[in-house]
């Protein structure tokens, strides 16, 4: 049995005051009502230390949104996985489409980042997903399989890796993928994981992301092979995010 995972991705949003308020409210809810699902919020680096303290005693874990492939050194502006672990993170997102597109990140680089995360004891949330043009061109499955094959670290397993399917056209558009599309792609991903990892594939959680909202969380979670959700905009609203967490049980 894979435990459901609800991951909030705050992206580049949140100053100290509103970030702390949001995290405290979430931690309070997680103390009051214990959920079966695992919850993590992936924060801007500036908020990690303070929010780590605010989450203390609650059931919400801390995550980051990217890490460098190197351990340390002359890499101005980057944060290394051991630094994120040191700041209290348990998870780190790698290969988000906003980084693949906006920062030219390749599958090879995403794999190096996921491997660095593993060395630091962090679980990597490895994102894959096709563009609208790729879907229209009938190559969505092939693109996502390639991303999975080339971005997933060697020796991946359920403890060190989560895969998030996020169709680029569904992110931030208010238009999530259809349930049939999610079902088909998650089946493809599970089969690809089995071919690659053998029995270990069954421990790897597959998240769906892209315009997840309180209104569609339950139906997305009911799709076979959807083990959780990666939530962007709705994770900035405590009520909305908590409703989504509750939908996972």
Please identify, among the stretches 33-41, 145-153, 218-226, 232-240, the one whose residues bind ligand PGA according to the rule CB under 6 A.
232-240
Chain CA centroid to CA 103, Å = 18
Q: State the Cα–Cα distance between residues 14 and 230, nearest whole angstrom.
A: 18
Stretch touching ligand PGA by CB under 6 A, among 17-25, 64-72, 189-197, 224-232? 224-232
Active-site residue, 130 included:
no
Q: Which residues of 87-114 are buried (b: 16+ CB within 10 A; e: fewer)?
A: bbbebbbbbbbbbbeeeebebebbbbbb
Tokens 């009520």 -> residue: 239
C-beta closer to ligand PGA: residue 83 or 165: 165
Catalytic entry in 38, 166, 186, 225: 166
- Of 153, 160, 210, 228, which lies in the binding site for ligand PGA, with binding defined by CB under 6 A? 210
Catalytic residue (one of 96, 105, 134, 186): 96
Rule CB under 6 A: say whether 231 interacts with ligand PGA: yes
Q: Does 39 contact ligand PGA by CB under 6 A?
A: no
The residue among 9 and 151 lying less far from ligand PGA, judged by its C-beta, is 9
The nearer residue to ligand PGA, 197 or 212, going by C-beta atoms, is 212
Strand segments, DSSP code E, in the chain are 5-9, 38-42, 60-64, 91-94, 123-128, 161-165, 205-209, 228-231
Smallest distance, Å, CB 197 to ligand PGA? Answer: 24
Nearest to 200 by CA among 164, 154, 141: 154
Question: Residue 233 interacts with ligand PGA (CB under 6 A)?
Answer: yes
Under rule CB under 6 A, residue 82 binds ligand PGA: no
Residue nearest to ligand PGA (CB): 232
Residues 116-175 contacting ligand PGA, CB under 6 A: 166, 171-172
Closer Cβ to ligand PGA, 12 or 36, answer by number: 12
**Rounded distance between C-alpha atoms, residue 209 and residue 129, angstroms:** 9
- Taking CB under 6 A as the rule, does residue 65 contact ligand PGA? no
Residues 167, 143: Cα–Cα separation, whole Å: 11
Q: Which residues pair with 165 in a beta bridge?
A: 128, 208
- C-beta separation of 81 from 116 below 8 A: yes
Residues in contact with ligand PGA by the rule CB under 6 A: 9, 166, 171-172, 209-212, 230-234
Catalytic residue IDs: 96, 166
């Amino acid at each position: 049995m894979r435990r459901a995972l609800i991951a909030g991705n705050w992206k580049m949003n949140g100053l100290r005051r509103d970030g702390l308020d949001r995290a405290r409210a979430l931690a309070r809810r997680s103390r009051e009502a214990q959920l079966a699902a695992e919850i993590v919020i992936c924060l801007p680096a500036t908020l990690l230390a303070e929010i780590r303290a605010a989450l203390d005693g609650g059931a919400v874990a801390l995550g980051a949104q990217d890490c460098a492939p190197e351990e340390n050194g002359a890499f101005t502006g980057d944060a290394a996985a051991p630094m994120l672990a040191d700041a209290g993170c348990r998870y780190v997102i790698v290969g988000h489409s906003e980084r693949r597109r906006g920062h030219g990140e390749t599958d090879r680089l995403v794999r190096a980042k996921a491997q660095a995360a593993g060395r630091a004891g962090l679980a990597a949330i490895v994102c894959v997903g096709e563009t609208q043009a790729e879907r229209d061109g009938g190559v969505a499955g092939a693109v996502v399989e390639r991303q999975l094959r080339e971005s997933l670290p060697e020796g991946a397993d359920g403890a060190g890796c989560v895969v998030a399917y996020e169709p680029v056209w569904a992110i931030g558009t208010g238009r999530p993928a259809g349930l049939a599309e999610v079902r088909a792609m998650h089946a493809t991903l599970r089969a690809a994981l089995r071919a690659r990892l053998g029995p270990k594939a069954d421990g790897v959680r597959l998240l769906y992301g892209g315009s997840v909202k309180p209104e569609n969380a339950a139906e997305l979670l009911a799709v076979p092979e959807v083990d959780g959700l990666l939530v962007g905009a709705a994770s900035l609203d405590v009520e909305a995010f908590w409703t989504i967490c509750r939908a996972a049980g």
